[in-house]
Amino acid sequence: MDIGENIRVILERITRAAQRSGRSADNVKLIAVSKTHPAETVDEAIRNGINDIGENRIQEAAAKFDDVRERAVWHMIGHLQRNKVKTALKIFDTIHSVDSVSLAAEIDKRASRTIDFLVEVNIGEEKAKSGVMPDETLGLLKEVRTFAKLKCLGLMTIPPLTDDIERLRSYFRAVRDILKEANRTNIFDNPLTELSMGMTNDFETAIEEGSTMVRVGRAIFGERIPYDPHH
């Protein structure tokens, strides 16, 4: 597994996807999702140009975080339970998965610094997934704007699995449209700029539809492996 080569290939694909949509690749952040991969693998990715690391689970991230020697920005991209917020704030710089006022309030209560966050939109309205429903997203944004220690950057989504490229595009466009509407109505003093959309299987389509953050794991690190925190 040549992680450096994998990263180079992904960055080339990001560049081409950005060009197809008339954008610069400089406006797309690659988040390397290190779920199930050990600290030394994370270090290797960072040494090969990765600046942003994503993790799905608090327990795994906590076990791994202190063993990672290289510096990076850490992103919480999985569902965050309120009872795990205290631990999450010791690790993560950005939380992509705020989906309720109660979670935002807990983060605000426990934070000792400003926390960047994104609101997760359940764009497919899937019962098994977390995230706020599309028609409730603007309402949630209005409610979380009052928390002093929270800075909203934009929206995140994980669309339903589909082989229909046009349906996939429609999900990404719908999230982009919610962001546009939030900015059009000036919910926040500053415009929301970030769309965290796209993973290994669909990040190029997501970029073509406006994504500014892509969360790529398998295409960088290979297949997931059983994680041993004592490794």
For residue range 148-193, what is the model confidence (pLDDT) as tens digits?
A: 999 999 999 999 999 999 999 999 999 999 999 999 999 999 999 9
Distance CA 215, CA 45 (A): 14
CB 229 within 8 A of CB 15: no
List the structure tokens of 198.
Answer: 């796209």
Question: In sequence order, which ranges of 66-150 are alpha helices (DSSP H)?
Answer: 85-91, 101-110, 137-144
Q: Which amino acid is at 144?
A: V
C-alpha span between 112 and 114 (Å, rounded): 7
Q: Cβ distance 144 to 119 under 8 Å?
A: yes
Where does 3-221 sit in CATH, by number?
3.20.20.10
Angle (nearest 5°) at CA 107 between 104 and 109: 105
Query: Is residue 69 helix, strand or coil?
Result: coil
d(CA 111, CA 92): 11
Question: Do the beta carbons of residue 162 and residue 196 sit within 8 Å?
Answer: no
Q: Of 197, 203, 195, which is closest to residue 220 (Cα–Cα)?
A: 203
Give the model's pLDDT for residue 223.
81
Provide the pLDDT for residue 19. 97
Cα–Cα distances in angstroms (integers) from residue 182 to residues 11, 129, 191, 205, 226, in the given order:
30, 23, 8, 23, 40
Q: What is the pLDDT of residue 225?
A: 64
Which amino acid is located at 93 in the chain? Answer: D
- The full length of the chain comes to 231
| Predicted confidence (pLDDT) per residue in 168-177, tens digit | 999 999 999 9
Q: Could you say which residues of the chain have pLDDT below 70?
A: 1, 225-231
pLDDT at 1: 66
Name residue 165's amino acid.
Answer: I
Residue 203 identity (one-letter amino acid)? F
Contact, 224 vs 217, CB < 8 A? yes
Residue 231: its pLDDT value, please?
A: 45
Antiparallel, parallel or unpaired: β 73-76 and 94-98: parallel
> By three-state DSSP, how is residue 46 classified?
helix
Report domain extents, the chain.
3-221
